[in-house]
Amino acid sequence: MSELETQVLIIGGGVLGTAIARELSRYKVDVTLVEKEVDFGWGSTKANMCIVCQGGDALEFRKEYHRSRLVWESIPLTEPLCRQLAVPFKRIGELTIFKDNEGMAKYQKLKTRAESLGITTHQFIDRDTLRQMEPNVTKEAIGALYDPMIAITDPVRLTMALAENARQNGVNILTGTEVLDISSGVDEFEVQTSQGSIKSKFIVNAAGMFVDKVAAMANADDFVVFPIKGYVGILDKKVGGLVEHEIHARPEAPGESNIITPTVYGNLIIGTPMKLARRNDYSTTRQMAEIGLRNAQKLVPDISEGDIINSFAGFLMFRNWELGWHECVVSPSRSVPRFISVSIGYPGVSAAPATGKKAVKLLTQEGLKLEENPNFNPYRKAITDFSKLSDEEKGALIAEDNRYGHVVCRCEMVTEGEVVEAIGRGATTLDGVKFRTRAGMGRCQGGFCSPRVISILARQLGIPEEEVTKKGGESRHLLYQSKQLLGVRE
């Protein structure tokens, strides 16, 4: 790509950017999406609690906040969207526990207020019911506020599916393309990227953690987001049954909330927000891990350090220090026409479906003409999940294609056939295969499957094995061929 022209340029391939792209693909309009990473959802979409609409979203609903409204409007949209795109979605319900009557009184107030706004799904449960529902939750809890509506999904897989479906419906998607500068002309923008320049009439800035930096490139807006870093730990499936609901203790102070929840794959995930951090610094510290574990143990005491199979850092963006995660940016620039910035903060996944629709509306208000695309296909077929097939289906599939009889990931039971499918859907890296198939996400964390996946990637992409990367760029997994360091081989 040296020079490219498009009507709408979306910057950012996270859950918001791809949701907007997919929403725009319902119309006959020339759309390009650029993502600086080689795959989708690898920024702030990647590391979070995988929860669709937390209880707090409802309890603290404020119709004057964009974010509240977008989360709220997304509730009826998310499940059908996941179904159309064949992405896992499970309603598990949330239990917000409290340890004293004072705590309960606080929730009573919030619940009453929520009810006055028409939000009526919450109910109190007593100690005995809580014990029955969740026998492993801390015995200090005297009850909980139960919200059965809370659901979980796989945000990265949702993002990849949105991108795939958008592409299928005609959106031009460019990965590995980083926006470096934006100049605003009279009726179009010229965007310099790492892969060449793009001319576009409209820009949707969904650059996640860098949303303020991208806005600043175009002199579009003068706002700042504060990246708050949190700790996320994944627990072995063998302790996956410790809880069945999302268990939550509300923060005593902002940023101190902690959560434990099942994932759609049967692991548990623990998380604790931490503090303001340098953006894009995904490193974890010993202290974070200790606090993360300790906070999780306050909810479920039986969790031990040995149950953690992986841990990482995630970010949530505060738009405004006082309002914390309540406020977000989904608005046209005040000074530059046809430039829209979109940032939910946390959690983007809960607000993505309505944000997609909202962005389309804002674009039309800015002058974009839209005509329905009669060929829009909302459905995306899932990659085969061999482990979920019945015995008969497994046998039939292997008979049809024996690559499904070759297990490459033993922990998550992923076959060569699925890895090949994932590559066909756009995976070009080890992580790309991992997020699409779960190969490498199990308890051995890629020890067994990585040599096998690397050789399948090399074969399918027609590249040498040393060029296969973990996550694009300089993340090559194997640096040399045998004997190369001895000067025997060039």
Partner 1 sequence: MNRQNVDVAVIGSGPAGMAAAIRAKQSGAENVVVMERAEQMGGLLHQCVHNGFGLLYFNEDLTGPEYARRFMEKAMDVKVTPLLETMVTKISPEREITAISSKEGYITFTPKSIVLAMGCRERSRGALNIPGTRPAGILTAGTAQRFVNVEGFIPGKKIVILGSGDIGMIMARRLTLEGAEVVAVVEILPYIGGLIRNEVQCLHDFSIPLLLEHTITQIHGEKRIEAVNVARVDNNRDPIGGTERRIECDTLLLSVGLIPENELSSMAGVELDPITGGPIVGEMRQTNVPGIFAGGNVVHVHDLVDNVSWESELAGESAARFAMGAKWAEKGKIALKPGRNIRYIVPQTISGEREITLYLRVSDLEEGVRLKIGDIMSKALRVVKPSEMLKIELPMAQLRKLKQGATEIVVDCEKRGK
Q: Which residues bind partner 1 (CB under 8 A)?
A: 234, 238, 282-286, 288-289, 305-306, 308-312, 391-392, 394-395, 398-399, 402-407, 410, 413, 430, 443-448, 450-451, 455, 465-466, 469-487
* Nearest residue (CB) to partner 1, 80 versus 395: 395
In the complex, the smallest distance separating the C-beta of residue 290 from partner 1, rounded to whole angstroms, is 9
Beta bridge partners of 106: none
User: Three-state SS for 176?
Assistant: coil
In the complex, the smallest distance separating the C-beta of residue 443 from partner 1, rounded to whole angstroms, is 8
Paired tokens of 230 = 């949190």
128: part of which helix (H) or strand (E)? helix 127-133
In the complex, the smallest distance separating the C-beta of residue 44 from partner 1, rounded to whole angstroms, is 15
In the complex, the smallest distance separating the C-beta of residue 384 from partner 1, rounded to whole angstroms, is 13
In the complex, the smallest distance separating the C-beta of residue 449 from partner 1, rounded to whole angstroms, is 10
In the complex, the smallest distance separating the C-beta of residue 69 from partner 1, rounded to whole angstroms, is 35
Calculate the dihedral angle through the C-alpha atoms of 407, 263, 14, 213, rounding to the nearest 10 degrees.
Answer: -130
- Per-position DSSP letters for 377-391, written without gaps between them: ----PPPP-GGGS-H
* Nearest residue (CB) to partner 1, 115 versus 305: 305
CA–CA gap between residue 277 and residue 142 (Å, rounded): 35
Paired tokens of 371 = 């005509």
274: part of which helix (H) or strand (E)? strand 268-276
**Considering only CA atoms, which of 373, 363, 378 is closest in space to residue 8?**
363
* Nearest residue (CB) to partner 1, 62 versus 238: 238
In the complex, the smallest distance separating the C-beta of residue 205 from partner 1, rounded to whole angstroms, is 23
Beta bridge partners of 146: 95, 123
* Nearest residue (CB) to partner 1, 253 versus 479: 479
Beta bridge partners of 261: 269
For residue 474, what are the contacts with CB-CB under 8 A and spacing of at least 6? none
* Nearest residue (CB) to partner 1, 124 versus 312: 312
User: Three-state SS for 417?
Assistant: helix
Radius of gyration of the chain (CA): 23
* Nearest residue (CB) to partner 1, 79 versus 465: 465
* Nearest residue (CB) to partner 1, 74 versus 311: 311
CA–CA gap between residue 228 and residue 279 (Å, rounded): 8
* Nearest residue (CB) to partner 1, 3 versus 391: 391
In the complex, the smallest distance separating the C-beta of residue 37 from partner 1, rounded to whole angstroms, is 11
52 and 30 Cβ atoms separated by less than 8 Å:
no
